[in-house]
Amino acid sequence: MFQLEDLDPEELKVEANMKWANGEAEDANTLWRMALKECIKYSMRGFPTKKNRDMQLSLRLNLSLYHFKKREYHECINQCDIILEGIEGLEALLTRYEEEQIDLQGEGKESSLPEHVQAEKELNEVKAENYSHDNTDTAATAAATAAAATATAATAATTTTTEEEEEEGVMNMIKRETLMKIFLRKANSFLHLQEFEKCKENIKLVRRIDKWNVEAMNLEKKQQIEQIQYEQMQKQLYRRMCNVNASSDSKGMK
């Protein structure tokens, strides 16, 4: 057999994306898979570059979307899991994004908070401001101390810059938004499969790194409603089965 010429996965992906945009889902799926095979081929040859990894991640995300739209939920979940399994230090990455979110909230960058949470925050700020007027001298002293501590911390931080930059290169292999997309897609798939506990697990992961994510909050409500309906339906079916069995037993006794 003759050796086929290597194909450019990037060109295949661009063509596939155009097919998808035009509603040609099957052709897009075929091209995405061809592109993924080429990427894997390069990796096996010893070229596991960041660009190659990013391309594989993007292609698997597209394939998971294809399977989701086709209602092939197990395959959708499988593609998402392959992506997650390829992330080194996933738990550390989740913790980092979680801490970044807490830091942003501490700095007051909470414009996306629900109204009742934002109102409570503003009320607390007013109380704090009133208190500070009565404690001006103490506040000034505390501010000076904090400034000195900040300067010391900044000096110490310069010694670890290189290590942090190296760590950031590894940790930023996958963006927070991409992780949320994966977990939400898995959660939706599990909900369609009526696997409610696994659905909740993935919703929790989204809210861990984006506490007020609207899509996750809406999905959580939907999951709760559907789980209640499912459990009620199961109880009704069980009662019907019991009634049928009781009826059969009574006829047998006659």
Assess whether 73 and 97 both reside in one domain. Answer: no
Q: 63: closest CA among 13, 109, 128?
A: 13
Q: What torsion do the CA atoms of 138, 144, 146, 148 make, to the nearest 10 degrees? A: -150
Higher-pLDDT residue of 47, 119? 47
pLDDT at 244: 74
Assess whether 191 and 222 both reside in one domain. Answer: yes
Dump pLDDT digits (tens) for 144-169. 445 444 444 443 443 333 344 333 44
Q: Which range among 54-63, 70-79, 115-124, 201-210 shows the weakest confidence by mean pLDDT?
A: 115-124
* pLDDT at residue 30 is higher than 50: yes
pLDDT at 201: 98
Is 232 within the bounds of a domain? yes
As for how many domains the chain has, the answer is 3
* pLDDT at residue 240 is higher than 90: no
Is 112 within the bounds of a domain? yes
pLDDT at 107: 65
* pLDDT at residue 76 is higher than 80: yes
Assess whether 183 and 205 both reside in one domain. Answer: yes
pLDDT at 170: 44
Assess whether 39 and 71 both reside in one domain. Answer: yes
Is 10 within the bounds of a domain? yes
Assess whether 134 and 196 both reside in one domain. Answer: no
Question: Alpha-carbon torsion 31, 34, 40, 42, what sign?
Answer: negative
pLDDT at 245: 72
Is 3 within the bounds of a domain? yes
Assess whether 50 and 2 both reside in one domain. Answer: yes
Assess whether 50 and 27 both reside in one domain. Answer: yes
Assess whether 109 and 81 both reside in one domain. Answer: no
Token pair in block for residue 75 = 């395959």
pLDDT at 125: 54
Q: Which residues contact 169 (CB under 8 A, 6 or more apart)?
A: none
Listed residues 135, 170, 205: the one ending a domain: 170
Q: Cβ distance 184 to 219 under 8 Å? A: yes
Query: Which range marks the domain in which residue 60 is found?
Result: 1-87
Assess whether 1 and 49 both reside in one domain. Answer: yes
Q: Which range among 2-11, 30-39, 50-59, 173-182 shows the weakest confidence by mean pLDDT?
A: 2-11
Listed residues 170, 202, 231: the one ending a domain: 170
Assess whether 68 and 98 both reside in one domain. Answer: no
pLDDT at 142: 46
* pLDDT at residue 250 is higher than 70: no
Is 159 within the bounds of a domain? no
Listed residues 114, 137, 170: the one ending a domain: 170
Dump pLDDT digits (tens) for 169-223. 444 568 999 999 999 999 999 999 999 999 999 999 999 999 999 999 999 999 9
Mean pLDDT of the chain: 79
Dump pLDDT digits (tens) for 1-24. 344 578 899 999 999 999 999 999
Per-residue buried b or exposed e for 178-195, using 16+ beta carbons within 10 Å of the residue's own CB: ebbbbbbbbbbbbbeeee
Is 240 within the bounds of a domain? yes
Assess whether 7 and 71 both reside in one domain. Answer: yes
Q: Provide mean pLDDT across the span 232-243.
A: 90
Dump pLDDT digits (tens) for 101-139. 888 877 655 445 555 455 555 555 544 454 444 444 444
Is 155 within the bounds of a domain? no
Is 111 within the bounds of a domain? yes
**Banded model confidence at residue 247, pLDDT cuts 50, 70, 90:** low
Assess whether 210 and 245 both reside in one domain. Answer: yes
Q: Which residues contact 181 (CB under 8 A, 6 or more apart)?
A: 61
Token pair in block for residue 207 = 């809210």
* pLDDT at residue 66 is higher than 90: yes
